[in-house]
Structure 1
């Protein structure tokens, strides 16, 4: 490929940036997934839609406890599986009998999502909902509408229910079949009756299909954009992608500018599991085939337990060290970490889970409460006016250092106020304004007049946190070894994690 063509691809990739809702989501960093429902009471990972709703009966559900523990861990959003693949709904929906309204819990008057919404508002957490497109109740029930091969026609969303009118009087019209109408009626309930929703999670799993059922994703997205404009649409959607596994594995180089194989408005957002998704070679290949570039950041998800739902206290619970390792690789590797914590049959987070989460939160707080690079003097390569090297440590997320044009490499020297001991190094790019650029960097420390390399890594993006052996130094050096365009950095920090923590 010619040098000019290569330059065009680079400029195009750096022109792709997150929108405001994607950036706000990335800044959450650590979020809580909650799998809860009939499977909690059957000890199954996937239900079959034939469950008796009466089995759902938590003895002392406490969503305040969920929020307290999530907050103690450092999480900033809770994402609840309001409907898993079995089709059981955890809110007072108008549109199915497979829901909490037909359970024994609180004599059928309970609403898990309402409780959680109030608790999130009380504790200052954001709220998200997981709504499974798959619905086994609608497949297995004689009057179920999934795959019933009904005709597509223009229909009103929401469909009015005479004895339960909506406070929100907006109506939308879409050309849909019976199941898509049902699904969008439920979406309308979720997005209008439970306060602000900041994330909608559509799973791509299908335990069973019927009748060639298709999903009108674009209509779903349109409804969400109207009713919850600040919400990101995740996984089977255009705003956030799945990391590609459920074990908490991360990529060594995580790019957020990703090539997709078709127009954004019609793309189906398949799972992306390759180790390399955003290298220049991947961009070249896809653009050559008529693809497009899209800001599509990754979410790393796994469960604190062996399984998504609580089964019993024989389940393995990941240790503090294991969770911290994933946190460093995910949050510190340009993704958001979504950790599942399943409530037990009481409706509470179990004590072992709580102990781990509180320990994780304590370690993160102790480690990152004070940037040891604060007050440092920074000098370096030629920079744009207003983008001086001092911006790197000014603690202003809106400012940044940026090298002048035509520089794809650069050096910055940091003179600390005195000798500092540290074992964590943090760097951030100003992705909101200048996208993701750096593809190779190193960090050195001066020792007895010589530079000793501490770190050599690839991408940075929103955040890169590097774990290193404990080091004491007063002078540090950042070397940008390769960057798509002139590099920019918005933050640099060094920190000391206590020895008794991983």
Structure 2
């Protein structure tokens, strides 16, 4: 039978229509990239997740956080530097790299720089022939770690600082470092600038500095408040935003005081014009440099796990500072804690309960197996589940095959195609009803959600809002053990020590002689007096001592039982000496704080507790006076500063050059960390021990 031309044309049209319908159902085209994207180097950096920061220099020996550039370089004289020990510790801790403070704000260079006279060459260490950068870069290479450098552009020692010539000197210094010590994975820039109010200021040539980095180390990730490689996330507590976009608007901003607000740095910008992911920097000790006084204040495993969840678990890399001691070695307390931390992370995340599960999606891109939900349960980073371009919402259901118990969910976006998800929730099947466990906003490279332990066979993840079709490449379920809470030691203003624990009805053992508490130590039953101060260590136990908490340690000085606040005269002024650093007083700008100590004491120093917030108006620069009668005053600290207190608002212990007898102390604020009509004091104390 011969078809007419009209019939032939009709059949051809029908054939094309069916072909188009079929191809749309099996569309293998991947989603188009959304928004700005990470570079290949940024992707490699993001996958590192966790690495070590090392602060080491004259401050290690002078017991200050920020040196002033006037210290004698001979003070830097570690007795037993072993960079291989640093690298071995980092490797054993599961870290992927080490970043060293090659030059801090004091200008001291840990290598014999041609552009400075304030270096290891002028120190006693190795008779001036040492080079920390050389030793550490070689050790990192030996242990398979990447190597990074911190170089502060602020230099309180160099005579050219504050002049146009200095920028070229700093650029030469950068070239010297970046061309002599092998591959550098990250160049860390601090935005600090100037010696307090009225001091030298430098107009940094950031473009020149970046050009030097990329010329010598084109693959390096540049860190600053605004990147361009990665950004500071607004605090030094280890807490990235629960919402955390890897995008940031950088136009019109700069590092340091020119940076975006800290809350913006913490969460990024949803439609930011640049890809600048977050890096969370935090120290394992209260300060950044080693101090013998903090040997018993190394963060607990519980604290480090919280930091892990609020950094790596919130789309940020974790840069954990571990400062070497005065020998030039990582202290046993720090290294032991690092190993315990790694063991705890691995114990939680070594057993993925989603293995072998069945997973289905309410929507799949083109109904293609290439984008099937099953890709979420494999170990291939580059396979993923996606929806059609028009579908911004979808649900994923996981059937575990049998009831399983868990309390952690890991979920990852395939960020080479951009960050997309804006909101989602998680539900579990409880009997015949779906119940919500938790809600969250962004995902990014990795999101880890914590929730109360549940037992279920089925879990459901609902993508509720996405900027473009969602693209996920990994889901995992894990069970973290329910841990015994660490005891909390507190002392009232009259010297009464109490020990509490969130875990119901534990047995708490404690010591007051500096020894480690065991089940043979004294059992805590009631609060006890410790007016003159001392060390208290405690451990909580359950199950007749079979399960134990971490040991917690607190050192107290003399209690403020006899103290009174002379100034200010506000109703709540007594909070300044109530022994509770969580309470605070707002004081009129420039008004001094005067405290009557009740008795004449021999003071070795004093302490100041700020309000623990980066946005609080805490004291930065100050004068400190002492008096025997409250009338005649002796200035013992002049134009001094609580360095780095804006970014790291923790208790500040200040030692005097020599002990003084006093019955009164006076803190006179000269400059604060923010612009406000009132400043904050949480607690004022003295050091007598």
Q: When the two structures are superposed, what TM-score results if normalisation uses the length of structure 1?
A: 0.84
Kindly state the Cα deviation for residue 73 of structure 1 after the two structures are TM-superposed.
Answer: 2.5
- Aligned equivalent of 2:177: 190
Q: Look up the SS of the partner of 2:404 in the other structure.
A: strand
Choose which of 436, 454, 457 in structure 2 pairs with 1:453. 436
- Aligned equivalent of 1:154: none
Q: 2-side partners of 1:332 and 1:283: how far apart?
A: 19
Kindly state the Cα deviation for residue 15 of structure 1 after the two structures are TM-superposed.
Answer: 1.8
Choose which of 271, 274, 278 in structure 2 pairs with 1:298. 278
More helix by share: 1
Kindly state the Cα deviation for residue 121 of structure 1 after the two structures are TM-superposed.
Answer: 1.0
Calculate the aligned-residue CA RMSD, in Å: 2.2
Q: 2-side partners of 1:43 and 1:212: how far apart?
A: 26
Q: Look up the SS of the partner of 1:136 in the other structure.
A: coil
- Aligned equivalent of 2:160: 145
Q: 2-side partners of 1:501 and 1:92: how far apart?
A: 50
Kindly state the Cα deviation for residue 302 of structure 1 after the two structures are TM-superposed.
Answer: 1.4
- Aligned equivalent of 2:209: 220
Report matched runs for 1:376-415 at 5 Å.
376-384=357-365, 385=368, 386-415=370-399
| Structure 2 contact 78–327 (Cα < 8 Å) conserved | yes
- Spell out, residue by residue over 1:412-444, the C-alpha distance to the aligned partner (whole angstroms, 9 max, x if none): 111224332222110000001x21111111112
Q: Look up the SS of the partner of 2:292 in the other structure.
A: coil
Report matched runs for 1:114-153 at 5 Å.
114-138=134-158, 144-148=159-163
Q: 2-side partners of 1:33 and 1:131: how far apart?
A: 13
Q: 2-side partners of 1:193 and 1:413: how far apart?
A: 53
Larger RCO, structures 1/2 (Cα 8 Å, 6+ apart): 1
Change (3 A) 1:207 1:341: farther
- Aligned equivalent of 1:153: none
Choose which of 71, 75, 83 in structure 2 pairs with 1:63. 83
- Aligned equivalent of 2:254: 268
- The alignment status of 1:329 with 2:329, answered yes or no, reads no
- Aligned equivalent of 1:171: none
Q: 1-side partners of 2:363 and 2:108: how far apart?
A: 60
Q: Look up the SS of the partner of 2:234 in the other structure.
A: coil
Q: 1-side partners of 2:179 and 2:85: how far apart?
A: 25
Q: 2-side partners of 1:422 and 1:501: how far apart?
A: 17
- Spell out, residue by residue over 1:152-198, the C-alpha distance to the aligned partner (whole angstroms, 9 max, x if none): xxxxxxxxxxxxxxxxxxxxxxxxx4212211111112111111100
Choose which of 164, 184, 187 in structure 2 pairs with 1:200. 187
| Structure 2 contact 242–267 (Cα < 8 Å) conserved | no
Change (3 A) 1:47 1:211: closer
- The alignment status of 1:232 with 2:216, answered yes or no, reads no
Q: 2-side partners of 1:307 and 1:268: how far apart?
A: 26
Choose which of 10, 16, 21 in structure 1 pairs with 2:41. 21
- Aligned equivalent of 2:299: 318
The structure whose Rg is larger is 2
Change (3 A) 1:310 1:137: same
Q: 1-side partners of 2:233 and 2:266: how far apart?
A: 13
Choose which of 46, 50, 54 in structure 2 pairs with 1:34. 54
Kindly state the Cα deviation for residue 212 of structure 1 after the two structures are TM-superposed.
Answer: 5.0
More strand by share: 2
Q: 1-side partners of 2:298 and 2:345: how far apart?
A: 19
- Spell out, residue by residue over 1:182-232, the C-alpha distance to the aligned partner (whole angstroms, 9 max, x if none): 111111121111111000011011241766532211111112112111110
Kindly state the Cα deviation for residue 271 of structure 1 after the two structures are TM-superposed.
Answer: 2.9
- Spell out, residue by residue over 1:383-439, the C-alpha distance to the aligned partner (whole angstroms, 9 max, x if none): 22321111111211001100112211100111224332222110000001x211111
Q: 1-side partners of 2:54 and 2:216: how far apart?
A: 23
- The alignment status of 1:481 with 2:471, answered yes or no, reads no
Change (3 A) 1:66 1:317: same
- Aligned equivalent of 2:73: 53
Which consecutive residues of structure 1, in runs of 5 or more, have no partner in the other structure?
1-10, 139-143, 149-176, 285-291
Kindly state the Cα deviation for residue 245 of structure 1 after the two structures are TM-superposed.
Answer: 1.1
Kindly state the Cα deviation for residue 351 of structure 1 after the two structures are TM-superposed.
Answer: 1.6
| Structure 2 contact 412–444 (Cα < 8 Å) conserved | yes
- Aligned equivalent of 1:496: 479
Q: Look up the SS of the partner of 2:162 in the other structure.
A: coil
| Structure 2 contact 353–477 (Cα < 8 Å) conserved | yes
Kindly state the Cα deviation for residue 13 of structure 1 after the two structures are TM-superposed.
Answer: 9.9
Q: 2-side partners of 1:455 and 1:65: how far apart?
A: 42
| Structure 1 contact 383–404 (Cα < 8 Å) conserved | yes
Q: 2-side partners of 1:212 and 1:85: how far apart?
A: 13
Q: 1-side partners of 2:316 and 2:32: how far apart?
A: 22
Change (3 A) 1:395 1:121: same
| Structure 1 contact 321–501 (Cα < 8 Å) conserved | no
Kindly state the Cα deviation for residue 252 of structure 1 after the two structures are TM-superposed.
Answer: 1.6
Report matched runs for 1:406-485 at 5 Å.
406-432=390-416, 434-485=417-468
Which consecutive residues of structure 2, in runs of 5 or more, have no partner in the other structure?
1-30, 486-689
Q: Number of matched residues?
A: 446
Query: Which stretch shifts more, 12-21 or 129-138?
Result: 12-21
Kindly state the Cα deviation for residue 24 of structure 1 after the two structures are TM-superposed.
Answer: 1.4
Change (3 A) 1:35 1:278: closer
| Structure 1 contact 411–477 (Cα < 8 Å) conserved | yes
- Aligned equivalent of 1:243: 233
Kindly state the Cα deviation for residue 133 of structure 1 after the two structures are TM-superposed.
Answer: 0.5
| Structure 1 contact 82–91 (Cα < 8 Å) conserved | yes
Q: 1-side partners of 2:200 and 2:358: how far apart?
A: 66
Report matched runs for 1:74-93 at 5 Å.
74-93=94-113
